[in-house]
Each structure stands twice: as structure tokens, then as C-alpha cells.
Structure 1
Amino acid sequence: MKKIKAARDKMMETKTEEKGLIVVHTGKGKGKSSSAFGMVMRCIAWGMPCAVVQFVKGNWETGEKKLLRERFADDCRFFVSGEGFTWETQDRERDIAAAQAGWEIAKREILDPGVQFVLLDEINIALRYDYLNIDEVVDFLLHQKPRMTHVVLTGRNAKPELIEAADLVTEFELVKHPFRDGVMAQKGVEF
């Protein structure tokens, strides 16, 4: 253990840079948004102002939205852009317009010097269906995002360009899910 500690201490001496990270949560497994909302709560605990822009989910009532709006509205701004999951809306033009409106809000929040952490929940879905231009999003994140602002982008099927631009990418893998056995999404566990 002494050798491990010494090696670890030596390694840590080389880790001196601080910067706002671009983080991607993707994959077919559950927990991408839940993990990102956990990061929001961690930032709130540290006094770091946050913003959430939720793409695609629409007015679906979730525990995260309820908690943040009712108890942490001064610490985290919460925006909903979209009218529901793409298979429910069945209106590509409206979905595109909603995603683009959400992206305008997202850019404003990311550029706000009073916000240190921005969650773009399910933006990968909007990018997957080309509701937003991936090159524009990546260019903005790489060249306009303030240096110390953290941005987390969630959703399945993250595009390769986004993965390449990100500092941290986690792929959530599905091993087993009760939905496959006919179990509905459970309040508190999944929403």
C-alpha cells in the first residue's frame, strides 16, 4: 500500500489543469439522465449555479424536474424544450423547431457567466434525428463555451463527432431491464 500511495501521489503531481468539461452520457443502458442529475445535485451542494435544458421529454413529469423546480429553483434553472418523445409527437417539423428553440436556450445558459454547469438532457436524441446540426453544436462547445463551464450531454446514440470533442464519455450498457418483462416505468426509479 505504501508503494501504491507513492505512485499515486507522483501521478497526481502531474494533474494540474482545471477546465470546464464536456461530458457525454450515452448508450442503451438506464441511468444516463439520472447520473447527470446527480451531478446537478452535487454542483448545487457546492454552490455552483446550474441550468438544465431538457430536449425531447416534453411536459412529462419527472422527479428531477419536480425537485429542482420546487426546491432548488434559485440554484438551477430548468427549461423544457420539446413536446414529448419523437414516437409520440409524429411531427418532425415541430420536433425540429422545439429542438432548435432548446438549443438557443442552451447556448444562452452556457454563455451566462453566472452558470457553471449545464445539463443538456436527451440532446443526443435531437442530434441523432438531425433536429440540430452536429457540427454547429460541437463548434459551439469547443470554441464558444466558457473555459470553466461544465456541459453534460445525455441520450442514446451520441454522434462520433460529439464523442471526439468530449473530455469524458461514459457508455451505459444495458444488462437487464424489467420493461422487457412487462413492468412499467416506476416512479422514483425511472422518472
Structure 2
Amino acid sequence: MTEEIEDTSGMTEAELARHAEKMAKKKAAREKIMATKTGEKGLIIVHTGKGKGKSSAAFGMIFRHIAAKKKSAVVQFIKGAWATGERDLIQEHFADLCEFYTMGEGFTWETQDRARDVATAEAAWEKAKELIRNPENSMVLLDEINIALRYDYLDVNEVVRFLQEEKPFMTHVVLTGRNAKDELIEIADLVTEMELIKHPFRSGIKGQLGVEF
């Protein structure tokens, strides 16, 4: 939750006192709300939309898990034909805390072989289920699975059924990729849509090391 920060420079003492009183009321109201939020559960988290940052935000949560010394895992459904900074960092320094599987062979227009793409997606999903079922993993990131679902390389109903019926109660599962299916959004606990406003690619700027990969 974000809110606009009020500029208090140039206020009189009376105005500062009123401001302090207003902030105290806000603090009390927020504490009252937070006191009712006591439940915990493993979340189904979806990052979708046309904007950049879906995987980046998901990896931020993976790194939070690593910092907390909690075990996690990553399955990349599409990316695979190129190196990524996240994969290199995790495999070189945090392999004991995060298993990393790059199962994809690139985007569908690169392979140009639907049967091969379906087989690759199915193999990635089998690995994903294995990792989610493992009670040692408290978070599993399914990077770009939404693309595999969009092209029907996987059955969204099977993915939904598994997440609802077989995901351990306290395991978080993060699913990224644009065009998330409605069925997935319906069962998710947290859905964020990245909105594209501007992108350097449209100005002829290529993907750059440390930003896109």
C-alpha cells in the first residue's frame, strides 16, 4: 500500500500539530486493521500483463526467501536459450537454498515445432509438481508458465486442479507471464498486472545486460 507523502515544510506550529494529530489517527486506524490480519497460508501469486518486471518481481521474492534461509525452487518454462543473471547468481552462490531448472528452449517462434514445445512444457510441469510437492520448498517460481498455458501446451484445468488439491497448504507458488488465463486468476490469492507505459525497445534500444537479463 502506498500513499502520497504530505509536504510539511513551511507549516505553522498549529498546522504541524494538526498534521501530527492526523497522522496519529491514521496510524491507529492502520494498527486496528493489521490486528485483524493474523492468518497465514501458502499463496498462489500471479504476475501478468504486458509490462516489464513480471519475472524480476518474482525473483525478488525468491531472493527474499534465500535471505531468510528458506528453501525455494525455480522452473523456467520458456527461457533457456540464453543466460540470465538470476540463474547465474543462484546457481553460483545459493544452490543449496534454491534449486533451478531451465526447461524451456526459447519462445515458440524460435523452435517452430509445436509438438516439441508441448513435450518441453509437459516435462517442465512434471518437474514443477515434484518441487511443489517437496515439503522442504516453501516457495516455487514457475517462470513464464502463463505463456505455455496461453498456447495450450499445458491444460490450465490440470494446473488449477493441482494447485487447489495437491499444493501443500504453506507452500507459495508464483506464476509469471503475460496473458494469464482467467481460470488461474480466479484461484489466485494475489494477482499483479504489469502495465506497459513506455519501453526502450520501441525506441530501438536492445535488451541490456543487468536490466533485461
- Pick from 74, 84, 87: which aligns with 2:106? 84
Say whether the 8 Å CA contact 1:115–1:149 is kept in structure 2.
yes
Corresponding residue for 2:163?
141
Corresponding residue for 1:130?
152
- Pick from 76, 86, 91: which aligns with 1:64? 86
Corresponding residue for 1:188?
210
Return the alpha-carbon distance in structure 1 between the equivalents of residues 24 and 80 of structure 2: 53
Return the alpha-carbon distance in structure 1 between the equivalents of residues 157 and 53 of structure 2: 26
Larger radius of gyration: 2
Task: State the 4+ residue runs in structure 1 displaced beyond 4 angstroms.
Answer: none
Q: CA RMSD in A?
A: 0.7
Return the alpha-carbon distance in structure 1 between the equivalents of residues 188 and 75 of structure 2: 18
Return the alpha-carbon distance in structure 2 between the equivalents of residues 20 and 59 of structure 1: 31
TM-score by length of 1: 0.98
User: Alpha-carbon deviation of 1:42?
Assistant: 0.5
Gaps in structure 2 of 5+ consecutive residues: 1-22
Return the alpha-carbon distance in structure 1 between the equivalents of residues 92 and 108 of structure 2: 27
Return the alpha-carbon distance in structure 2 between the equivalents of residues 38 and 99 of structure 1: 24
2:143 corresponds to which letter in structure 1?
Answer: D
User: Alpha-carbon deviation of 1:5?
Assistant: 1.3
- Pick from 63, 70, 95: which aligns with 1:41? 63
Return the alpha-carbon distance in structure 1 between the equivalents of residues 102 and 116 of structure 2: 14
- Pick from 22, 30, 33: which aligns with 1:11? 33
How many aligned positions are there?
Answer: 191
User: Alpha-carbon deviation of 1:153?
Assistant: 0.1
Instruction: Provide the secondary structure at the position in 2 that maps to 1:97.
Output: helix
User: What percentage of residue pairs aligned between the two structures are identical?
Assistant: 69
- Pick from 6, 19, 24: which aligns with 1:2? 24
Query: How does 1:109-188 map onto structure 2 within 5 Å?
Result: 109-188=131-210
User: Alpha-carbon deviation of 1:6?
Assistant: 1.2
Instruction: Provide the secondary structure at the position in 1 that maps to 2:149.
Output: helix
User: Alpha-carbon deviation of 1:128?
Assistant: 0.2
Establish whether residue 105 from structure 1 lines up as the match of residue 159 from structure 2: no
Corresponding residue for 1:31?
53
TM-score by length of 2: 0.88
